[in-house]
């Protein structure tokens, strides 16, 4: 089991200008600072005043949390005697009884009082193997799904009760499931994969004191265990390589190839104009000048530029059955050391450069994207940033665009 240590910080809210806060409106839960910044010691003092875990030796503080005034939980021994014990005798005694004690475990001698007894850890192990279907072994017992769920429900409830009692008595409870974020980080660390594994788990409720990892709230039902188990199996499938290695696809997309599509459109417009006005040279010159001006890049949009000729063209893309898609290759493509054509993304209006790969992407796998980029030399020390987004479009209505990383 991988344990995750989480650091929690309790904060108080203060006025932006402490001098504007009226001391007459202050109480013990607000720190008033009139002429200096709030220090760490002052924040700690305020946190202690507001904490429900404050211990008051002189008895002046009589307020208690609702959980402290309820009846003390107790073990459900009647359910054990009437239902659980006969079930264990039918399905477990042959392998874990007086004649045979496989694994050095005898269920007939375990204390059924999980709240105050000494065998709670053994019951916790039994709970684990029962919920995973490891015990009783398939073929050695006729424990049906209904009986198994009844046994799991009793163990889950008793372990939860033991957890509550242990916490109230000042001990540290370990009988709880992992939180959503703990489970996600545990799988990431164990498997060495950066995926978000726990997205199917619902978020935890907050305790009275604002924490999400309170064992009082983190019980484990049958359906929850099945969800955790399903996520773990899915994570292992992603981490485990089986079968033949699928072919790797490579794309090597230069801005020269991307720009050529736009320049071809410009060349076609010029050729059509020359054919139309070939008998009128003056009109041709006039219209050609207008056409050339229309090729000028509007301010703020992404565009291609030939560094040798200074020729430019605005980047274009629209949905049209993947007609703008670049074809993949079977071998890696080297990024050239020198190039004459670039794509320029001006600062200020979030310009986008779209590179389409079509429907050639595999359904599963990793995609690695390498971009050669640089900023235009300038006197300013401003450092531009880039964001990588991944999108798809199946029709005019069905499309999506997702940011790949939270970092630029």
Here the tokens at position 221 are: 């039902």
Query: What pLDDT, on a 0 to 100 scale, did the predictor assign at position 399?
Result: 82
Per-residue pLDDT, averaged over 342-359, amounts to 86
Per residue in 321-349, pLDDT tens? 777 889 998 899 888 888 899 999 988 77
Cα(291)–Cα(284) distance, integer angstroms: 10
In terms of average pLDDT, the best of 210-214, 308-312, 346-350, 360-364 is 308-312
Query: Taking 70 as the threshold, does the pLDDT of residue 303 lie above it?
Result: yes
Backbone angles phi, psi at 329, to 5 degrees: -125, 165
Query: Taking 90 as the threshold, does the pLDDT of residue 174 lie above it?
Result: no
Query: Taking 90 as the threshold, does the pLDDT of residue 264 lie above it?
Result: yes
Cα(149)–Cα(128) distance, integer angstroms: 13
DSSP 173-193: ---SPPPHHHHHHHHHHHHT-
Count CB neighbours of 306 within 10 A: 16
Query: Taking 60 as the threshold, does the pLDDT of residue 375 lie above it?
Result: yes
Query: What pLDDT, on a 0 to 100 scale, did the predictor assign at position 304?
Result: 94
Please check whether residue 390 is in contact with residue 402, taking contact to mean a CB–CB distance below 8 angstroms: yes
3-class SS of residue 304: strand
Q: What is the dihedral of CA 34, 38, 44, 47, to 10 degrees?
A: 60
Query: What pLDDT, on a 0 to 100 scale, did the predictor assign at position 33?
Result: 33
Share of the chain above pLDDT 70, in %: 74
Count CB neighbours of 123 within 10 A: 22
Query: Taking 50 as the threshold, does the pLDDT of residue 59 lie above it?
Result: no
Query: Taking 50 as the threshold, does the pLDDT of residue 253 lie above it?
Result: yes
Query: Taking 70 as the threshold, does the pLDDT of residue 218 lie above it?
Result: no
């Amino acid at each position: 089991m991988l344990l995750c240590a989480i650091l929690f910080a309790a904060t108080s809210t203060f006025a932006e200008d402490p001098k504007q806060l009226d001391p007459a409106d202050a109480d013990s839960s607000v720190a008033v600072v009139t002429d200096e910044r709030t220090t760490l010691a002052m924040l700690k003092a305020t946190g202690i005043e507001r904490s429900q875990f404050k211990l008051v030796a002189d008895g002046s503080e009589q307020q208690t949390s609702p959980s402290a005034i309820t009846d003390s939980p107790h073990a459900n021994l009647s359910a054990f005697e009437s239902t659980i014990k006969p079930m264990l005798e039918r399905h477990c005694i042959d392998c874990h009884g007086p004649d045979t004690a496989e694994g050095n475990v005898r269920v007939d001698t375990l204390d059924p009082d999980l709240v105050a007894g000494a065998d709670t850890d053994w019951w916790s192990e039994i709970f684990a193997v029962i919920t995973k279907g490891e015990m009783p072994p398939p073929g050695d017992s006729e424990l049906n799904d209904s009986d198994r769920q009844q046994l799991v429900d009793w163990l889950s409830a008793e372990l939860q009760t033991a957890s509550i009692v242990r916490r109230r008595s000042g001990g540290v409870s370990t009988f709880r499931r992992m939180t959503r974020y703990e489970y996600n980080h545990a799988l990431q660390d164990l498997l060495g994969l950066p995926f978000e594994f726990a997205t199917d788990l619902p978020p935890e409720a907050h305790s009275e004191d604002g924490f999400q990892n309170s064992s009082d709230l983190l019980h484990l039902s049958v359906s929850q265990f099945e969800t955790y188990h399903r996520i773990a199996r899915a994570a292992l499938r992603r981490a485990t390589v089986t079968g033949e290695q699928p072919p790797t696809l490579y794309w090597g997309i230069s801005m020269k190839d991307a720009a050529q599509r736009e320049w071809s459109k410009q060349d076609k417009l010029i050729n059509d104009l020359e054919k139309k006005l070939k008998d009128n040279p003056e009109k041709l010159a006039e219209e050609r000048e207008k056409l050339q001006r229309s090729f000028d890049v509007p301010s703020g949009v992404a565009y291609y530029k030939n560094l040798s000729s200074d020729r430019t063209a605005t980047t274009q893309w629209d949905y049209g059955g993947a007609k703008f898609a670049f074809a993949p290759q079977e071998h890696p493509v080297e990024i050239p050391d020198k190039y004459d054509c670039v794509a320029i993304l001006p600062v200020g209006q979030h310009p986008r450069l779209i590179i389409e790969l079509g429907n050639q992407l595999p359904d599963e796998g990793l995609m690695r994207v390498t971009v050669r980029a640089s900023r235009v030399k300038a006197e300013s020390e401003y450092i531009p940033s880039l964001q990588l987004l991944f999108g798809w479009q199946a029709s005019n209505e069905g499309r999506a665009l997702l940011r790949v990383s939270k970092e630029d």
